[in-house]
């Protein structure tokens, strides 16, 4: 008998492995054919049941043991209940709770049915939660996150506050890496005015919106293994002579996906699905926009890359065309947000371009969400030399017609110097009580949010912690402060 059982298991395992190998290779039987003989990859419920009942998968024995243990538990409880019933006078309500008005046979059948229902639902929900968590763990960095942390995050992160982050460049991706630990309801609104580097070349050659900032946000919110993220950010070396030099693999991936999916919007969605992105990445507009700047000397510069290369003080920034339509899903995200975070990022080439889209600016100003501006930790040579935190805010107020922010988060740790050759300096808070100044009555929250390894960048975790602290304190206060305030978060 044992020899027959071993022989059966051997032949079944060999058959199943052969079928799955051929199925993966694409030349195996069709799924419904596999389902008929009980050993394939059919999707019908009866075929799935046959696979569960097939020998060798190590499930049935433990399920039977579970049922046996529950039967023993029920038997033990019944003995205790009988002893309690015979020795203690119980309230009259127990007559109905224990169904004593029913015959014994009916009473037993009802209780058994309820027990089976409760056990089935309980086991089903319990195992489905574990399976979802296990699949999520497999898609992330090595799957090493503790199971209880996975379950906790999946249960509560999906209920987190709705945060919209507006910006571009490295600053936005740094912000997203920190905030994704607090909520899954993240929407990154990305500027699409980039015309330099790999993004600029693809934009000119293919007539698409630049994918560079979209790629950075996808990489920041992705929950795949680090190798996939590094691959997405990989840039082909210069001088290779193969036409790919300078291009980012992620940019090419998004462009290819837009061809496969039929549009850039679908490409962003599908890329996010493939890389298990937590949150949404939304362009400010799908229009082919271009930045146009007027410097303090009256010179006109067109194009984001040209503005950056010029390195001159900018007096006015505009879009060409001036009235591009906002992306509808971006407007919906802003209107439904609990918190809107603007910055960090280059003031003129990453932050302002989003707010210059007319419909987006109006939705931003009319939103009931709490609005925070994240000040840069270092000035940008040429464009924001000697700028204070308030100077950044004044520029935004001048361009969008008012000051919509509830508070500004600024760096308090400016002790260390920036690297030599950067021609930058820490952005500091200037003392100001001038009520006529548009930035004079602004609530400024100072915290140590700088990356100690890169003094010109924010630390993701510190920044996210400061933002969430500001949000919860502001929500508890309920109203905006009337006088200038400077709040320091302890290090």
Identify the bridge partners of residue 285 per DSSP, sorted by sequence position: 326
Q: Which domains does the chain have, with CATH numbers?
A: 60-154 (no CATH), 160-488 (3.40.50.10680)
Q: What is the pLDDT of residue 276?
A: 84
87-95, long-range: CB < 8 A, 24+ apart: none
* Distances in whole angstroms, Cα of residue 47 to Cα of each of 29, 39, 377, 478: 15, 8, 60, 57
Angle at 237 between CA 235 and CA 242, to 5 degrees: 105
Strand-strand pairing, 290-295 and 314-320: antiparallel
Asked if 389 contacts 444 with a C-beta cutoff of 8 angstroms, the reply is yes
Ramachandran quadrant class, 401 (left: phi over 0; alpha: psi -120 to 50; beta: rest): left
Which residue has tokens 């000119």?
204
Q: What is the pLDDT of residue 35?
A: 40
Separation of alpha carbons 387 and 335, rounded Å:
31
Q: What is the pLDDT of residue 24?
A: 40
Which two structure tokens, joined as six digits, stand for 166? 């507006």
Q: Who contacts 208 (Cβ-Cβ below 8 Å, separation ≥6)?
A: 202, 255, 258, 264
Which residue has tokens 């049922």?
67
Asked if 225 contacts 144 with a C-beta cutoff of 8 angstroms, the reply is no
Separation of alpha carbons 122 and 46, rounded Å:
22
Separation of alpha carbons 186 and 218, rounded Å:
12
**3-state helix, strand and coil shares in percent for the chain, rounded to the nearest 5:** 50, 15, 35
Name the phi and psi angles at 358, rounded to 5: -55, -55
Asked whether the CA dihedral 8, 9, 14, 18 is positive or negative, the reply is positive
Asked if 284 contacts 192 with a C-beta cutoff of 8 angstroms, the reply is yes
Q: What is the pLDDT of residue 13?
A: 42
Q: In the chain, how many H helices and how many E strands? A: 19, 11
Name the phi and psi angles at 220, rounded to 5: -70, -35
Ramachandran quadrant class, 379 (left: phi over 0; alpha: psi -120 to 50; beta: rest): beta
Q: Who contacts 77 (Cβ-Cβ below 8 Å, separation ≥6)?
A: none
Asked if 414 contacts 426 with a C-beta cutoff of 8 angstroms, the reply is yes
Which residue has tokens 């763990």?
137
Residues of the chain with pLDDT under 50: 1-41, 139, 141-142, 479-491
Name the phi and psi angles at 378, rounded to 5: -140, 150
């Amino acid at each position: 008998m044992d020899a027959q059982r071993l022989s059966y298991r051997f032949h079944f395992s060999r058959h199943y492995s052969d079928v799955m190998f051929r199925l993966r290779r694409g030349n195996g039987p069709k799924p419904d054919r596999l389902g008929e003989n009980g050993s394939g990859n059919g999707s019908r419920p009866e075929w799935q049941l046959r696979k569960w009942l097939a020998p060798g998968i190590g499930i049935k024995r433990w399920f039977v043991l579970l049922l046996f243990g529950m039967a023993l538990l029920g038997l033990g409880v019944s003995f205790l209940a009988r002893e309690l019933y015979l020795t203690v006078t119980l309230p009259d309500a127990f007559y109905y709770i224990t169904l004593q008005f029913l015959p014994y046979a009916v009473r037993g059948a009802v209780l058994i049915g309820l027990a089976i229902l409760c056990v089935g639902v309980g086991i089903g929900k319990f195992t489905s939660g574990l399976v979802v968590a296990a699949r999520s763990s497999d898609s992330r960095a090595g799957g090493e996150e503790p199971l209880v942390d996975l379950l906790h995050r999946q249960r509560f992160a999906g209920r987190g506050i709705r945060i919209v982050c507006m910006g571009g460049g490295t600053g936005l991706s740094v912000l997203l890496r920190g905030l994704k630990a607090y909520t899954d309801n993240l929407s990154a609104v990305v500027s699409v005015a980039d015309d330099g580097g790999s993004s600029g070349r693809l934009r000119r050659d293919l007539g698409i919106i630049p994918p560079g900032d979209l790629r950075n946000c996808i990489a920041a919110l992705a929950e795949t293994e680090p190798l996939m993220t590094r691959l997405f950010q990989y840039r082909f070396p210069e001088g290779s002579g193969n036409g790919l030099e300078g291009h980012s693999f992620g940019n090419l991936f998004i462009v290819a996906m837009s061809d496969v999916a039929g549009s850039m919007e679908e490409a962003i969605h599908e890329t996010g699905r493939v890389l298990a992105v937590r949150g949404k990445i939304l362009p400010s507009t799908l229009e082919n926009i271009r930045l146009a700047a007027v410097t303090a000397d009256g010179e006109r510069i067109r194009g984001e890359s040209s503005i950056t290369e010029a390195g001159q003080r900018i007096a006015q920034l505009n879009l060409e065309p001036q009235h591009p339509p906002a992306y509808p899903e971006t407007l919906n995200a802003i209107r439904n947000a609990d918190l809107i975070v603007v910055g960090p990022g280059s003031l003129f080439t990453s932050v302002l371009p989003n707010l210059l889209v007319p419909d987006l600016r109006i939705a931003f100003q009319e939103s009931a969400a709490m609005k925070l501006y994240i000040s840069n930790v270092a000035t940008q040579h040429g464009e924001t030399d000697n700028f204070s935190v308030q100077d950044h805010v004044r520029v935004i107020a001048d361009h969008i017609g008012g000051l919509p922010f509830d508070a500004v988060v600024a760096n308090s740790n400016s002790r260390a110097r920036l690297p030599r050759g950067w021609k930058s300096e820490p952005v500091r808070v200037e003392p100001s009580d001038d009520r006529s100044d548009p930035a004079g009555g602004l609530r400024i929250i100072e915290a140590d949010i700088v990356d100690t390894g890169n003094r010109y960048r924010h630390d993701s975790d510190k920044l996210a912690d400061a933002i969430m602290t500001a949000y919860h304190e502001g929500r508890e206060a309920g109203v905006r402060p009337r006088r200038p305030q400077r709040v320091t978060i302890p290090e």
